[in-house]
Amino acid sequence: MIKKMAVVLLVVAALIGATLYWLAGNMDRMVKHAIESYGSEMTQAKVSLGAVKISPSSGKGLISNLTVGNPTGFKTPHVLQVAQLEVEIDLASLTQDVVHIRRIAILAPDVIYEKGASQTNLDAISSHIANASSTRQGDGVQKTGKKLIVDLLTMQNAQAQASAALMNGKTVAIALPDLTLKDIGRAKGGITAGELGQAITTALTARLSPAANFDRLLKSGSGMLDQVESSVKKLFK
């Protein structure tokens, strides 16, 4: 009996070791692919990142060089660019219907808030996410997909810029206070990745809107165009 138990324990230990080995070799690649492909699909903007490094034993990790580009129709290069994000995942939850993310820390991001002809880039992204989520629900995809609970999401030391349509991609610096969100999705028993994206864009918009005076920016952009036009006319006098 003791020998049989020892054999069972050895088999279990071997399975655990094999699982950790598989996670070490594949989890980083899978997370990177999911962020880039699913993120780009949902936002209708190019999402790219440099690397993902997550410990298969602790669930703690780093995501480097994340860029969220702009949807079609906007002139600035991106919505968000960040050199480093810290994450902490409850690895045991990866096999469950709801994945538990203990912490996401967005460190010193570069955020560009642009007002286009009819809406801002963050509004456009939020709209694209909503449309994509609605389509996936209609196809029955999200009914069986993983959901998320995030204990803590923070964004610190952000550098923010604002732009308006007539500024042709030029920006001005604006203030962006630190962001802290807690227990995201907990009340609902988990939310989709799209809903998490919308929660973040909504929180960013709430902080950026008071700082970005688009009426002033539009007047500034119009004034710059008038100056250019005047200078060009003088060349032909």
Give the Å distances, CA to CA, from 232 to 47, 81, 215, 227, 228.
Answer: 39, 36, 26, 9, 6
Average pLDDT, the chain: 81
pLDDT value, residue 231: 40
More confident residue, 118 or 150: 150
The pTM assigned to this predicted structure is: 0.78
- Cα–Cα distance measured from residue 131 to residue 216, given in angstroms and rounded to the nearest whole number: 32
pLDDT value, residue 228: 37
In this predicted structure, the answer to whether residue 27 has a pLDDT above a threshold of 90 is no
pLDDT value, residue 137: 58
* CA nearest to 132, candidates 39, 206, 32, 34: 39
Taking the domains of the chain in order of start, what are their residue ranges?
A: 2-227
DSSP assignment of 13-73? HHHHHHHHHHHHHHHHHHHHHHHHHHHHHHHTS-EE-SEEEE-TTT-EEEEEEEEEEPPTT
Name the residue with tokens 């006319």: 233
pLDDT value, residue 21: 47
pLDDT value, residue 159: 94
Which three-class secondary structure state does DSSP give residue 182? strand
Query: What is the token pair recorded at 154?
Result: 């923070």
Band of residue 212 on the pLDDT scale cut at 50, 70, 90: confident
In this predicted structure, the answer to whether residue 171 has a pLDDT above a threshold of 70 is yes
Helices (H), the chain: 2-43, 121-138, 193-208, 214-235
Query: What is the token pair recorded at 34?
Result: 């999911």
In this predicted structure, the answer to whether residue 40 has a pLDDT above a threshold of 50 is yes
In this predicted structure, the answer to whether residue 13 has a pLDDT above a threshold of 80 is no
* CA nearest to 152, candidates 105, 195, 117: 105
Tens-place pLDDT, residues 101-128: 999 999 999 999 999 888 999 999 999 9
In this predicted structure, the answer to whether residue 51 has a pLDDT above a threshold of 50 is yes
Band of residue 230 on the pLDDT scale cut at 50, 70, 90: very low
pLDDT value, residue 133: 78
Q: Region 118-144: what's the mean pLDDT?
A: 77
Dihedrals phi, psi of 109, to nearest 5 degrees: -75, 160
Dihedrals phi, psi of 206, to nearest 5 degrees: -60, -30
What's the chain's length in residues?
Answer: 237
Q: Any idea which of 38-52, 170-184, 210-224 has the lowest mean pLDDT?
A: 210-224
Q: Region 84-95: what's the mean pLDDT?
A: 92
Band of residue 210 on the pLDDT scale cut at 50, 70, 90: confident
Dihedrals phi, psi of 32, to nearest 5 degrees: -60, -45
Which three-class secondary structure state does DSSP give residue 224? helix
